[in-house]
Structure 1
């Protein structure tokens, strides 16, 4: 196992050094494919343009299980100075997807060395997790549509939790998340005669008040809903001109998918009312949609059984995480679960410029995934 640890650390650092953002993971894809061809005996298929699917078949028919690793990086400038720091300006692995990928490559090596007696294993190296488009593009792939998958599993490293601790929860594990840009088009006028134009200021103020009123930032409650103002703009720095244009950018979060739809509809009705009231043309652009990871009870039990075999501490949390994760779309369609792998109490937080995936937990993730596969079959 020591040789495997060294091998995975080497490939993880290589992936870290050459990061690519969502939908641009071409070289990352090549590196993953090269590793699979050199170290494993599996069928490798392209999926969703910049993703890969590694397929392992057992000797007998059995359940079809998919494990997923995300492979994209973030548009964040790295501040670390170690040898394998990102060479791509303004891009770095600050969410640990390099580590997630290394873990799944480790599973591929174990499956090559210790073939499962039955069933089919799909190792999905998924692109575009960070922008919420990857899972959708995989599910729309013609080959993927033919598969009758029984279970899907994924993990995410969790700074702030003890290293190697396994974090689980039934039902919602992460939040529904959706972002929107609200564009308000009016008419400019002289600042001394604003009545001759249509200024979006009052409408923007009402949108912000609406957001404040609708927000219920109580994660322990099932009707948790959080609307966060992200960016605002209006007019120009021309003090003789009454603005005729503005934008409001928001991100919405909820545990409940139905509540998210309800709040979206309510916001759009509010915007329609403001259009008429303020003589504006208001447009909405919704994007970066993440569905909640809804963990199946049986799938969570498989994770706990596999963790117990490795004598790993299991932390059953009560409240979901407020961040979004693209794997949620898979758990909406298949039985499955996402779980957390503790990355260390003092590890920098995800998406921080000094974050780096801890290599000490890679083997833990690899062994746990492999044990889950054995449990399911």
Structure 2
């Protein structure tokens, strides 16, 4: 079964929704204009209940099916990124310094398309909970919505989400059982020495030399401390220090990210990072402080749901259009919190060749929206069929 005919008929409408949302990107929990637009469309579709203001601007809409049954959750993220857009499209961002550089405008349009179809047809039992979530990029809106009780309040039994995938074959679905995206943690290291004239380094305690040595030493955690079979990334992304060429500064700041799939590896990183920081402070005769921030946990697909989702995806994209065993991705996703609260699965939908996500020239491919919406619709109809 290819794209649902009724949803194919909505292609231009979904593109219009998406392109409007593209003009008004918003950050974090502050997705007010986006949420208002989404709520207006849902009311037009005739959803049975509309719950707004969850996690500040999040929405859960309920569509009742035919007869008794469980509740399936479908989630789309709504927020953008603090990036200045360089696409040159006619519907480019009108919010300076903000853009939809990750396709959340497209995810929202796909779920709206599925919502319109499901509200019209209601060819399923039980209920559908449509989850429109703010703050996926920053702020952990998924965690906030779970903490505010959506899973229990709406009696959600299982939950699913899709993310677009630049570089993957157009219209293909990609997923796996188990960890599909990594945990994302952040570290901050502040080094304090003794500044002075750059021509008299012997009168100083130079934090720059210590920082250079420390950055290299952190990579030994990957190369010498972890099991080579365990996946781990440690990336230093910022070093800030100094003001001019002839002054050795007093302080240096180092920042970066750690990506893991396994808690034991995460624990190892924290332990070794602290030991390395303390050791460098002692060996260079200065002070150094480590602050380790635990971020999004790994996104882990549940086996039964991932296998079922791949089967349904095959109905839409064809068996050859589904890869049910992709390699895990070292990026992170706060849908992880929903998968910790309920069984479910996360899939990636190929949009063909394009600029990558989080790039100023990225743009969601509107042609995949009917494919994603059809997947959501068929997922509901297959998971919760109407009794004969």
Same fold (TM over 0.5): yes
Q: Bigger CA drift: 316-325 or 355-364?
A: 316-325
Q: Alpha-carbon deviation of 1:181?
A: 2.0
Structure 1: runs of 5+ lacking an equivalent: none
Q: Deviations over 1:249-285 (max 9, x none)?
A: 1111122233123212321232233344445443344
User: SS at 2:295's partner residue?
Assistant: strand
Structure 2: runs of 5+ lacking an equivalent: 1-5
Q: Could you tell me which residue of structure 2 aligns to residue 330 of structure 1?
A: 338
Cα distance in 2 for partners of 1:298, 1:143 equals 22
> Does the 8 A contact of 2:198 with 2:245 survive in 1?
no
Q: Could you tell me which residue of structure 1 aligns to residue 173 of structure 2?
A: 166
Q: Alpha-carbon deviation of 1:365?
A: 0.5
Q: Alpha-carbon deviation of 1:116?
A: 4.5
Q: Could you tell me which residue of structure 2 aligns to residue 89 of structure 1?
A: 96
Q: 1:258 to 1:80 in 2, by over 3 A?
A: same
Alignment partner for residue 308 of structure 1, among 310, 314, 331? 314
2:379 aligned with 1:372, yes or no? yes
TM-score between the two structures when normalised by the length of structure 1? 0.91
2:341 aligned with 1:339, yes or no? no
User: SS at 2:328's partner residue?
Assistant: coil
TM-score between the two structures when normalised by the length of structure 2? 0.89
Q: Could you tell me which residue of structure 1 aligns to residue 296 of structure 2?
A: 290
Q: Deviations over 1:200-251 (max 9, x none)?
A: 234313321222212259xxx6401111110112232151x33210011111
Q: Could you tell me which residue of structure 2 aligns to residue 179 of structure 1?
A: 186
Q: Could you tell me which residue of structure 1 aligns to residue 117 of structure 2?
A: 110
2:22 aligned with 1:16, yes or no? yes
Q: Alpha-carbon deviation of 1:20?
A: 1.2
Q: Could you tell me which residue of structure 1 aligns to residue 366 of structure 2?
A: 359
Q: Could you tell me which residue of structure 1 aligns to residue 3 of structure 2?
A: none
> Does the 8 A contact of 1:131 with 1:288 survive in 2?
no
Cα distance in 2 for partners of 1:295, 1:159 equals 21
Q: Bigger CA drift: 262-271 or 78-87?
A: 262-271
Residues paired across the two proteins, number: 373
Q: Could you tell me which residue of structure 1 aligns to residue 33 of structure 2?
A: 27
User: SS at 1:289's partner residue?
Assistant: coil
Q: 1:319 to 1:117 in 2, by over 3 A?
A: closer
Q: 1:50 to 1:197 in 2, by over 3 A?
A: farther
Q: Could you tell me which residue of structure 2 aligns to residue 58 of structure 1?
A: 65
> Does the 8 A contact of 2:171 with 2:317 survive in 1?
no
Q: 1:54 to 1:329 in 2, by over 3 A?
A: same
Q: Alpha-carbon deviation of 1:196?
A: 4.8
Q: 1:142 to 1:255 in 2, by over 3 A?
A: closer
Q: 1:44 to 1:216 in 2, by over 3 A?
A: farther
User: SS at 1:187's partner residue?
Assistant: coil
> Does the 8 A contact of 2:351 with 2:368 survive in 1?
yes
